């Protein structure tokens, strides 16, 4: 029975932290390791319950197309939320500790960092809402238009707390536009709309670059690690407020890396489970929350370069200018056991669609097939995964995931270059 | 399509509030009505999705035992949470409004009621956690011992905020014990443990007094209305802090009454749906949260007199001193179409069990059947529902639910008498 094992692991982490001085950073590290181990233990134990409950899907990237449990992201998300719940008292330990002495307690209650607690609570609330939405989506296949407003509502507590914590809503204007707009403009309520849209964007972009075992967790891992590196550039640095907000982001991301590793261990090009929309939404919202509360939403968007590229490439199909089949994931060639780019039939192609496809072919982004009459018959589907298979040829599933990880890593390097080097071409503020 | 209808309803509520001066009380009333209507619209629309997803159960209180969708409490809980998310900005409107003027904004940000926001966020967080747990329980049938620690963890944010908001942990000692303990004692950390246990108690006690269509929502409705009456005794009264905490409880309970009415409309002795553990956990946690943040957890427990009686009566079966069948709900007599008390066979009855059952028979709480040899053969199951059927004879399902509502109402009257009249026998503090 692995439930007691998981409880024991988390218990050991708390005890270890307690005896090492109750430092929140130590607590975060210990709880992240414990969360990773718990996810690792719990996923295979709970997987049969998911299958039983009807949460299952076909693994189409195996010749036998086995039925595997789906939505195992729920286990990772739940362990993550529980570990953050347990972490809260450590962050505020200095204010809780003297509670036995009423005088000290009263003094400390006055200096209590309410905004910090509000940030934690709203982060958890938004995260949990999106986990619930992702899980509901896995179960009920919620329609696109019903789904869209929910991340906006889920981000209300977060924006409320952002407002309370001083809520900077002005942005520096890049040099080329300063003659028009001045050196900075206050976006006011528009800035809050922008942050809401960041959460909509993040939750959906992991979901779109999906469809091969392990790719959701693998890309999220690289993004999370990049964000952690970015946080470490500020933590303990001379700019105290920046250090504090990046510390908060660090506390949110470290256990995320833990549970993602625990999940990825079982999901790595595996025949055993699917992570589901639950994981994609949970991962996306973790990034959005860390970015908003860490005040680095623009840097965050830079880390989504591969996802943005994937979205732009997909757009002609999403907008139905080019025919879009129900599933666009790569397909398995039964003979070679390698993945190949999936294709869409082009029977009812509009002339605009044709122009777009020919242009994309010129750029080397699709492979088209033409009838002897010269009209287009099929195109490879417009996703980054298929593009890799077009350019690099058929390959094994794990190879493809490794390529995505490499691209995501390169994207991070590019993002850091833009953020820390090229930014001086447009802005004089480096903070 | 009823999803747009629900969105429109909530939209109208927000607009109405906006034009009537953005008063939080008006907003709460308007959103509660909108939440009730949305639940009423959404439940039948979404019910088929639940059946499809495998969330279904047999309605054993109909002759045909139809398969009906289960866990529809999730719809009520989701609408409730969304309406509270939308409500948050109205509570803090006075602080948000002047945000266009940076000087006013800065001044107001300083006086922002952080504790109030923290209370809202933690209330929502704990509620949402329990909704997620209840839903997971419906889906996966989580084991009892795995379920138990989760409400404790779910209450951490709530306790954290209680601590921050001044966290009174002393209790007045009743007169008879004052010579021993003094006039008041500080329970310190034990008081937090007590509040955690209140949330465990509330979530489980609605779940135990269940098993007949409509009874979960009906009893919750009476409890919520009683708590609202209790809140109205303080709101606007001379004791400003008491008025404020009861206002918070009011804001939490009013939309709950809305969604419960919307759900009960379809669930009232109906063949169309089951509310599931999701609803029981959600309802119980709403009461626990209102009681803890409203600082009336002892009054709250008084309102659970019928549930406590039901639990005490059930205990010999729960502890397996008396044999306990898997289901103890009343059973339908196919001929008369009336509900009768269900029974348990007493083949392996321990001598302690026999003593208890004979004692309960003497009190008129069970009906026993004896073999010609004098040994006991069957007993009616030890629940309040079966007790009513034993004392009052077989009856229709809706009658039985009405009896439970009447008992719950009488329990509330008794609770108020204890709270506001008899309390002076034990305490000199009436607050």
**B81 and chain A: CB distance < 8 Å anywhere?**
yes
Q: Which residues contact A4 (CB under 8 A, 6 or more apart)?
A: none
CA distance B99 to chain A (A): 8
3-state DSSP assignment of residue A113? coil
Confidence category of residue B161, pLDDT binned at 50, 70, 90: confident
**Average pLDDT by stretches of 10, chain A with 431 residues:** 71 76 84 92 89 82 82 93 89 67 50 83 92 88 74 84 76 75 78 87 86 90 95 89 90 96 86 86 94 89 93 90 88 89 88 92 91 87 94 92 95 90 67 43
Give residue-wise pLDDT tens across range B163-177: 877 667 777 777 777
A/B interface, count of CB pairs below 8 Å: 123
Set of chain A residues whose Cβ sits within 8 Å of the Cβ of B129 = 81, 85, 128
Q: Which of A52, A121, A149 sits opposite B157 (nearest CB)?
A: A121
Q: Is B167 on the interface with A (CB under 8 A)?
A: yes
A391: three-class secondary structure by DSSP:
helix
Q: Are A341 and A329 in contact (CB under 8 A)?
A: no
Q: What is the pLDDT of residue B84?
A: 92
Question: Are B92 and A50 an interchain contact pair (Cβ–Cβ within 8 Å)?
Answer: no
Categorise residue A21: left if φ over 0, alpha if ψ from -120 to 50, beta otherwise.
left
* Contacts of A388-396 spanning 24+ positions with Cβ under 8 A: A389/A330, A389/A339, A389/A340, A389/A341, A390/A341, A390/A365, A390/A366, A391/A364, A394/A333, A394/A336, A394/A338, A394/A339, A394/A340, A395/A338, A395/A339, A396/A269, A396/A337, A396/A338, A396/A339
Using alpha carbons, select from B81, B94, B233 the residue that is nearest to residue A136: B81
Span of A94-103, B72-81, B342-351, B364-373 with lowest mean pLDDT: A94-103
Q: What is the mean pLDDT of chain B?
A: 85
Q: Chain B partners of A282 at a C-beta cutoff of 8 Å?
A: none
Other CB atoms within a 10 A radius of the CB of residue A391 amount to 12
- Give the closest-approach CA distance of A154 to chain B in angstroms: 8
Q: Average of pLDDT values for B330-344?
A: 90
Q: How far is B39 from chain A (nearest CA, A)?
A: 15
Cross-chain Cβ contact A160/B92 below 8 Å: yes
Whole-prediction pTM value? 0.88
In this prediction, residue B427 carries a pLDDT of 67
Residue B93 has pLDDT above 80, yes or no: no
Residue B153 has its nearest CB partner, among A3, A86, A154, at: A86
The confidence band for B191, taking pLDDT boundaries of 50, 70 and 90, is confident
Q: What is the pLDDT of residue B38?
A: 92
Interface check A36 vs B, CB under 8 A: no
The residue-averaged pLDDT of B328-336 equals 88
pLDDT of residue A431: 43
Residues B30-43 have pLDDT tens digits of: 999 999 999 999 99
d(CA B167, CA B397): 45
Say if the Cβ atoms of A114 and B118 lie within 8 Å.
yes
Out of A85, A121, A129, whose CB is closest to B118? A121
Q: What span, in angstroms and rounded, lies between the C-alpha atoms of B282 and B296?
A: 19
How confident is the model at residue B431, as a pLDDT? 43
Q: Using CB atoms, which residue from A3, A99, A166 is nearest to B146?
A: A3
Half-sphere exposure of B256 (CA within 13 A, CB side): 32
Compare all CA atoms of chain A with the CA of B82 and give the residue at the minimum distance: A153
Does B163 contact A132 at a Cβ distance shorter than 8 Å?
A: no
| Residue found under tokens 């256990």 | A255
Mean pLDDT lowest for which of A161-175, A257-271, B327-341, B400-414?
A: A161-175
Contact with chain B for residue A394, Cβ under 8 A? no
Judge whether residue B103 has pLDDT over 60: no
pLDDT in tens, B271-318: 678 898 899 999 999 999 999 888 888 889 999 999 999 999 999 998
Higher pLDDT, B224 or B158: B224
User: B89 and A156: CB-CB below 8 Å?
Assistant: yes
Say how many Å lie between the first and final Cα of chain B, rounded.
50
At B391 the pLDDT is 93
* SS3 per-residue string spanning A114-170: HHHHHHHHHHHHHHHHHHHHHHHHHHHCCCHHHHCHHHHHHCHHHHHHHHHCCCCCE
How big is the CA angle at B64 (ends A51 and B210), to the nearest 5 degrees?
A: 65
Question: Given an 8 Å threshold on Cβ–Cβ distance, is B153 in contact with A122?
Answer: no
For A332-353, what is each residue's pLDDT tens digit? 888 888 999 999 998 888 889 9
CB A133: neighbour CB atoms within 10 A? 23
Residue B83 pLDDT > 60, yes or no? yes
Q: Which of A56, A53, A16 is nearest to A32 (CA)?
A: A16
Give per-residue burial for B261-287: e unless 16+ CB within 10 Å, then b.
bbbbebbebbebbbbbbbbbbbbbbbb
Chain A residues closer than 8 Å to B49 by CB: 140-141
Give dist(CA A62, CA A337) in Å, integer: 8
The most confident of A53-62, B194-203, B217-226, by mean pLDDT: B217-226
Tell me the ipTM for this assembly. Answer: 0.85
Chain A CB within 8 Å of residue B193 CB: no
- B231-255: per-residue pLDDT in tens? 999 998 888 888 888 999 999 999 9
> Which pLDDT band, with edges at 50, 70 and 90, does B203 fall under?
confident
Residue A190, number of CB atoms within 10 A of its CB: 12
Higher per-residue pLDDT: B62 or B257: B257
Token pair for residue A84? Answer: 């953050």
């Amino acid at each position: 029975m692995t439930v007691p094992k998981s409880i024991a692991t988390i218990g050991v982490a708390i005890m270890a932290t307690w005896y090492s001085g109750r430092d929140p950073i130590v607590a975060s590290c210990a709880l992240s390791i414990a969360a990773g181990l718990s996810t690792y233990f719990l996923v295979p134990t709970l997987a049969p319950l998911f299958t039983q409950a009807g949460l299952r899907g076909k693994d189409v990237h195996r010749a036998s197309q086995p039925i595997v449990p789906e939505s195992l992201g729920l286990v990772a998300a739940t362990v993550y939320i529980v570990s953050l719940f347990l972490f809260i008292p450590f962050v505020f330990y200095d204010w809780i500790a003297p509670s036995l002495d009423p005088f000290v307690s009263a003094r400390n209650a006055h200096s209590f960092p309410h905004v910090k607690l509000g940030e934690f609570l709203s982060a958890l609330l938004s995260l949990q809402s999106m986990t619930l939405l992702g899980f509901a989506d896995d179960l009920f296949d919620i329609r696109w238009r019903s789904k869209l407003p929910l991340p906006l509502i889920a981000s209300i507590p977060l924006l409320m707390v952002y407002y309370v914590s001083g809520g900077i809503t002005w942005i520096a204007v890049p040099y080329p536009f300063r003659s028009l707009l001045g050196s900075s403009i206050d976006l006011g309520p528009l800035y809050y709309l922008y942050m809401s849209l960041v959460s909509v964007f993040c939750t959906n972009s992991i979901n779109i670059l999906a469809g091969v075992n392990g790719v959701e967790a693998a890309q999220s891992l690289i993004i999370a690690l990049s964000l952690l590196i970015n946080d470490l550039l500020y933590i303990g640095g001379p700019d105290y407020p920046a250090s504090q907000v990046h510390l908060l982001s660090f506390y949110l991301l470290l256990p995320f890396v833990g549970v993602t590793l625990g999940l990825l261990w079982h999901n790595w090009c595996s025949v055993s489970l699917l992570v589901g929309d639950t994981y994609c939404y949970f991962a996306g919202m973790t990034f959005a929350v860390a970015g908003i509360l860490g005040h680095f939403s623009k840097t965050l968007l830079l880390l989504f370069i591969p996802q943005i590229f994937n979205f732009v490439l997909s757009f002609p199909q999403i907008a139905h200018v080019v025919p879009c089949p129900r599933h666009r994931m790569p397909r398995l060639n039964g003979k070679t056991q390698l993945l190949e780019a999936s294709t869409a039939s082009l029977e009812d192609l509009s002339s605009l669609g044709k122009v777009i496809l020919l242009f994309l072919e010129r750029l080397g982004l699709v492979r088209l097939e033409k009838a002897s009459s010269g009209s287009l018959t099929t195109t490879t589907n417009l996703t980054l995964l298929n593009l890799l298979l077009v350019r690099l040829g058929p390959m094994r599933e794990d190879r493809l995931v490794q390529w995505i990880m490499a691209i995501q890593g390169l994207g991070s390097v590019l993002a850091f270059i833009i953020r820390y080097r090229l930014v001086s071409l447009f802005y004089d503020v480096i903070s």
